[in-house]
Amino acid sequence: MKIAVIGTGLVGQAWAIVFARAGLEVSIWDGNHEALQRATNIISKQLLELQTHGLVSDATAAMNHIRVASSLADALEGADYVQESLPEQVEIKRDFYQHLDALAKPDAILASSTSSIPASLFTESLPGRHRCLVAHPVNPPYLVPVVELCGAPWTDAAVIERARALMELVKQQPVTVHHEVEGFVLNRLQGALLREAFRLVEQGVVSVEDLDVTVKHGLGLRWSFMGPFETIDLNAPDGLADYCKRYGGMYQSIATEQTDTNPWSEELIHKAQTQRREQLPADKLLDRRLWRDERLMALMRHKLQFEHTSE
């Protein structure tokens, strides 16, 4: 199977790693030649880092599966699946998908990495609109494997299934989103938590630091291997319905306080920003991001080992 990765920013680079480490042939292309060259260097370094952590068996072999295409047509030639990771602007995607639809072979899947734009907004006028969908990853997808698959109303169901099979083949965790909603599933969940987190800080209930402690040393520990429905199913003697009977009233009462939909104020953002910079100076952000990726690698290695021993 041949893959084309279009756009080689952070997300495109990560997608190239996902497909190449699975042994698939990957062509990468970017309209910015310098960005394309930088991407190849970064991908090579990332693969070596993954090998160090035991998450890639042979970084050199994986890198050999990646080819730099000389043009968009060259990248798309013979591709069975196209992963587009262009800027998050509907006008850019609408224009570019006309080229993708015209140049890719008729049965190639055209997937977008967009995190918020429904496929219907940039594929409606295409002759091949039935083969277009969103395949939204979590950055970086080579460390966080969930991928949200969401078609437009006219996307062929068989295309969704083919995309899902591919994601399973490359060891991602596909989730089918059955109809279009802004932000898909992950960002809507994240948004709900962020809104309440900001509210609690704004009301002086908790500091930014202690809010983060509550999640990373509380909810996050369970959420790293269980979802919210499984969590509550295990947190009452007789399962989910029993949990809802016991605690549903509390959550309903809390919900009446969570009806405000005003945007985060500049004052609130400044308050949170100030507290974060007290904890982590701006010149240490990159180091902390690298630390985050190291922790994600360790967590992935642990989860993979657990999956292997539990088979």
Q: Over the stretch 95-150, which tens digit does the pLDDT of each residue have?
A: 999 999 999 999 999 999 999 999 999 999 999 999 999 999 998 999 999 999 99
Same domain? 89 vs 114: yes
Domain count, the chain: 2
Q: How distant is the alpha carbon of residue 278 from its chain centre? A: 29
Domain termination site, one of 117, 148, 177: 177
- Residue ranges with strand state E in 69-211: 81-84, 109-112, 132-137, 146-151, 173-177
Beta-ladder partners of 111: 83, 133
Same domain? 172 vs 198: no
Domain termination site, one of 177, 209, 240: 177
Give a yes or no: residue 295 inside a domain: no
Per-residue pLDDT tens digits for 213-237 = 999 999 999 999 899 999 999 999 9
Domain that holds residue 244: 186-279
Beta-ladder partners of 84: 6, 112
- Residue ranges with strand state E in the chain: 2-6, 25-29, 66-68, 81-84, 109-112, 132-137, 146-151, 173-177
The percentage of the chain sitting over the pLDDT mark of 90, rounded to a whole number, equals 88
Same domain? 250 vs 161: no
The tokens for 36 are 């394309």
Per-residue pLDDT tens digits for 50-108 = 999 999 999 999 999 999 999 999 999 999 999 999 999 999 999 999 999 999 999 99
